[in-house]
Amino acid sequence: MQGNTDTLQSTRGKGDKLTQKEIDAWWNERTALDAEMQTSLAEIEATWLGGFKGLVCGTVRDEALREQLLSRASDIADGCSEPVDADLLELCLSSIDLLTAAELIQACTDLLAGSVRAGPHGGAKALAKQMRSEFDAAVALANLSDDADGDARIERNATLLLLAPCLQELPWESMSCLSAQATSRIFTLQFAAAHMKSRVQACDISNAYYVLNPGQDLQRTQDFLEPLFAEHTGWSGVAGRAPTEEEYSSGLAENDFFVYCGHSTGERYLRGSQLQSLERCATTLLMGCSSGRLSPLGDYGLEGMPLHYQLAGCPSLVANLWDVTDRDIDRLCASLIDSLDAEKATDSTTPLCSARQACRLQFLCGAAPVLFGIPLTVK
C-alpha cells in the first residue's frame, strides 16, 4: 500500500496547481496500482485457496440445492475406489461454480491424496468430471434464476471472517470468490453470536444522523452528498462545521444509522474511551481515510477505532482499511446508501458489494471499505 500512500501525498496541498500532464501521470500511476492490487488478490486467491475456496465462502442459501449437493457428495465419496474425505469433497462440490477447471482438478488431486493408481491425474480428472456433472444436475433440479451471463445464480449465506492480526490489512472481501456475497469481520465469536440473536432489531435507515465535512475542507464531498442526505425523511445532522461532543455522541446513541464523512476516524470529535461508554451505538459508516485500520499491539492483540465501536455495541461498522480519494469514496457512500434503501424492497444481502462498483478504482479505493460486525440488515 506504500504506492497508494505515495501518490496521495504527492498531490496533497497542490490543488489546482497541477498541470494536465501531471494529472494524467497521477491517474496513470493510480490506475496501474489498481491493476496491481487486482492481480495480487487473484494470486492470493489462486495460491492460498486454490480449489478449496469453499473454506471462506458462505454456504449455499437455497436449502433444496444445499441438500442435493450434500447427498450427491456423499454418494460420490462412497463410490470412490480410494478413501476420500467426504466433508472436503462436499465443500468442493458446493463451490464448483467458483472454480476453474484446473483448480477443480487440483482439488480432486488433493482429495485423492496421490493414492490413485490410474496414472498422473487420471483419477483426479475422472473425479472432477463426475463432480461437475453432479453439480450441474443438482443446479438444474433447483430451478434457480439466471444471472447476467445466463448462468444459474447461486446465492450464498454470509461469511464472518475472524482474522489473525497479520491478515487484517488484506482486503479479503474483494477476492472474486467473496466479491458477490455478504462478508464481514468479527473480533470474537461471542460478539457475533450476541448480535445475530438480535437481528430482528434491524437498522432503521430512516432514523439517521450524519456528520458531513466537519473540517470545512471537503466542500466537493458536501456538495455531492448533502442533497442526497436531504432527500431522506428523518435524517438530521451537521454539515460544514464541527459537531460538538454531545451532538456526535447523541447522534450515535439515539439513532439507528450514523454516517461520518470527514477525515480519519472522527475521534477528534468523540474519543474512543468516550465512545465505549455509550449505552447503545448505531450502525455506522466511517468514510474517512484509514478509519478501519487496526494496529498490532504484540501479545495484546489489536488497536483501532473498530474495536471501540464494537465495545460500544455497534452491530455493523463500515470503515476504510487505508487512505482513499474523496470522489471515489463519496460515490461509494452514495451507492451504499441507495443499496440499503433498495434492500428494504429487494432483501439484498450484498449492499457493500454492489456499492464498490461505483468506484473508478474498484480495488485501490473500492476494496478499502470493509464491514466489521454482522452483515448489514435494514428494516
What DSSP letter does each residue of 64-104 carry, written as one string? HHHHHHHHHHHHHHHH-SS---HHHHHHHHHTGGG--HHHH
* pLDDT exceeds 80 at position 343: no
Instruction: For residues 322-341, give the mean pLDDT.
Output: 94
Question: Any idea what the CATH number is for the domain that residue 272 is in?
Answer: 3.40.50.1460
CB atoms within 10 A of CB 59: 15
Question: Does 365 share its domain with 312?
Answer: yes
pTM over 0.85: yes
Question: Does 81 share its domain with 174?
Answer: no
Which of 80, 107, 142 is where one domain is finished? 142
Q: Which residues contact 126 (CB under 8 A, 6 or more apart)?
A: 118
Question: Does 221 share its domain with 325?
Answer: yes
Q: Work out the pLDDT band at 135, boundaries 50, 70, 90.
A: very high
Residue 294 lies in a domain: yes
Question: Does 291 share its domain with 204?
Answer: yes
- Residue 328 is part of which domain span? 159-373
Cell (9 digits) for 72: 450427491
> What pLDDT digit, counting tens, does each position of 284-308 carry?
999 999 999 999 887 777 899 999 9
> What pLDDT digit, counting tens, does each position of 196-254 carry?
766 545 788 999 999 999 999 999 999 999 999 999 989 999 999 999 999 999 999 99
Compute the distance between CA of residue 306 and CA of residue 168 in angstroms, rounded to an integer.
12
Q: How many domains does the chain have?
A: 2
Instruction: Find out whether 285 and 336 touch, Cβ atoms under 8 Å.
Output: yes
Which of 116, 142, 168 is where one domain is finished? 142
> What pLDDT digit, counting tens, does each position of 68-92 carry?
999 999 999 988 877 888 899 999 9
Compute the distance between CA of residue 226 and CA of residue 271 in angstroms, rounded to an integer.
25
Residue type, 354: S
